[in-house]
Amino acid sequence: MTKRQLKLGAVLTPTGGPGHPYSWLDPEIPGDASVDIDWYIRYARLAEQARFDLVFIVDSQFITPSSPPHYLNRLEPLTLLSALAVATEHIGLVGTLTTSFNQPFNVARRFGSLDLISKGRAGWNVVTSGDAGTAGNYSLDEHYDYATRYGRALEHVEVVKALWDSYEDDAFPRDKQARTFLDPSKLHTLDHRGDYFSVVGPLNLERSRQGQPVIFQAGDSEQGRDLGARIADGIFTHAPTFEAGVAFYTDIKTRAAAYGRDPEDIVVLPGASVTVGDTDADAREIERATQLADNDFGKSVEELGRPFGWHDFTQYDLDAPFPTSALQYAERSFYTQAKKITELAVERGLTLRQTVEALNAPKLSPFTGTAVTVADELQRWLDGRALDGINIHIGHPAQFQRFVDEVLPILRERGVVRADYEENTLRGNLGIPFAENRHTRASRDGIAPPPLPGALPASV
C-alpha cells in the first residue's frame, strides 16, 4: 500500500481577504494583483513546480466599501480558471460557485467545460453564499433560510452530477466511414422534477478523463457538514488546533461512513497560515509583525458585520455589552460563525470593544517556526488524522517561497509529499476514485441508476 501523503492547495487571494486589510501593502504584491491574470498564472505555475495538488479560488458576490481589498475587485472564478487551464499542465483548478444563485444546468455546463479545457483538472467548491446581500443581485428580496439553502444545495449538486453523466464515455463513435457521430443508446436524459429544480436534460457535453470534476464543500454547520459528508470528495475548513482538527476530521469521516461511503474517498483540507523563520523565535516575530501590520481596530469593527449579514456595528457604544440582538441579522448569512462570536462575548461577558479585541488578538498558528518545526508539525497532523492536506493562503509571497524552498524539500525527503505528480487528473492526484458513469455502472450491474433527492418516483 502506498504511503498516505500530505495534499497541498494554494489559495489565491492576492490583495487580501477577511482579516487582511493591509497585506496588499507588501512590496511584492502589486495593487492590481487580484485582477491581473499574469499574477495568477505566475503563482499557479510556482505552485505547480512545487507539485501542489490544486489552486483554490474563493468567491463572493456582494460587497460594501468595508469589504477586504481582494473582495472589492476580483476576477470571476471560472473565467479565471479557464485562463489558468491553458497556462498550466498538472495542477488542479478549483473554483467556488454558489448553489443559491445559479441553476444546475449552467453550473454543470461551465464546470464540465473547465474539466475538458484543463483535461481533467477541474474542481467545484460548493457554497451556499454566506453574504446575505447577494440575494439583492439576483432579483430576490432576501437570501434563503438555512433549510432552503442546504436543501437547494443537495438537490443542486445531485442534479449537476446527473447532468455530467448525460453521455456514457463511449457515446461518440465519431466513425467517419460509418457516418456515425453518436450512439444514441449512450445518451441519457434526466426528466428531473424536484423540490427546487426542474431539469429535463441531457447536458450537451461529454465527460473528461476524470469522469466528473471533483466536488469540494465548505460550510461548518450541522447541515453544512452533513452535505459535505454526503456529496463532497474534499472538504475545506478551518482547524485552529490539532485537537479541533482531529474532532472535525473524525466527524466528517464518521458522517461519510454513515452515508455508506468509504471515508478514505473524502479528503479534509483545512486552511493554514504558515510562517517560516531562521529560528522558532524569529518565525514567531515575523508572524507577530505580519499580524500587527493587518491590525486596524476601525476596520475590524466594520468587518465584524460580515458574518452578521453586514450589520453595522459602528452604531453601538463600544464599551457597552456586546449587542447579542445582532445575531438575528446572521440568520441568513454566516450563522455558524456569527453564533460562535456571540457565544464568546456572552461567555466571557465582553463589551463590543473587548469582543473585537479578542477576535483581533494575535493568533499563534501551529505551523510557525523553522522549516523543520513546520515540517514536523504538518507531519504530526497528517499522521494524527487531523487533516489529509492543507490549503495555504499565498498571503505574503516571500513566505510562500520559503515554504516551497525550505519546508517542502524536508517533507519530500521524508516521503510526506510527492516528488512528482502520480496521475494526469485532479482526482488521480488526490487519490479519489474515477467517477464512473452512473448509467454505465447501472447497466453493468443490472440495476436502475440512483434516484435524485426530491425527485418524483419514475412511475409518477
Ligand X SMILES: Cc1cc2nc3c(=O)[nH]c(=O)nc-3n(C[C@H](O)[C@H](O)[C@H](O)COP(=O)(O)O)c2cc1C
71 lies in the site for ligand X, by CB under 6 A: no
Strands 192-193, 198-199: pairing kind: antiparallel
- Listed ranges 54-62, 182-190, 345-353, 452-460: which one lies at the site for ligand X (CB under 6 A): 54-62
Q: Which of 59, 115, 155, 294 binds ligand X (CB under 6 A)?
A: 59
250 lies in the site for ligand X, by CB under 6 A: no
Applying the rule CB under 6 A, the residues between 365 and 404 that interact with ligand X are none
Q: Which three cell numbers stand for residue 179?
A: 457516418
Contact partners, residue 333, CB within 8 Å, separation at least 6: 130, 131, 132, 143, 306, 307, 308, 309, 310
Report the C-alpha gap between 13 and 70 in whole angstroms: 6
Report the C-alpha gap between 84 and 42 in whole angstroms: 10
Please provide residue 148's backbone torsions phi and psi, each rounded to the nearest 5 degrees: -70, -45
Q: Which of 92, 194, 211, 219 binds ligand X (CB under 6 A)?
A: 219
Q: Residue count at the site for ligand X (CB under 6 A)? A: 21
Q: Which three cell numbers stand for residue 302?
A: 466594520
69 lies in the site for ligand X, by CB under 6 A: no
Q: Which of 40, 105, 334, 367 binds ligand X (CB under 6 A)?
A: 334
* Min dist. Cβ of residue 80 to ligand X (A): 13
* Min dist. Cβ of residue 234 to ligand X (A): 11
128 lies in the site for ligand X, by CB under 6 A: yes
Nearer to ligand X (CB atom), residue 145 or residue 264: 145
97 lies in the site for ligand X, by CB under 6 A: no
The H or E element that residue 358 is part of is helix 352-360
Q: Which three cell numbers stand for residue 62?
A: 456582494
Contact partners, residue 446, CB within 8 Å, separation at least 6: none
232 lies in the site for ligand X, by CB under 6 A: no
78 lies in the site for ligand X, by CB under 6 A: no
* Min dist. Cβ of residue 64 to ligand X (A): 15
- Listed ranges 8-16, 113-121, 125-133, 445-453: which one lies at the site for ligand X (CB under 6 A): 125-133
What string of DSSP letters covers 380-424? HHHHTTS-SEEEEE--SHHHHHHIIIIIHHHHHHTTSS-SS--SS
Alpha carbons within 13 A on the beta-carbon side of 261: 20
* Min dist. Cβ of residue 339 to ligand X (A): 8
Nearer to ligand X (CB atom), residue 21 or residue 77: 77
* Min dist. Cβ of residue 224 to ligand X (A): 3
Residues that bind ligand X (CB under 6 A): 58-60, 96, 98, 127-130, 218-221, 223-224, 236-238, 334-336
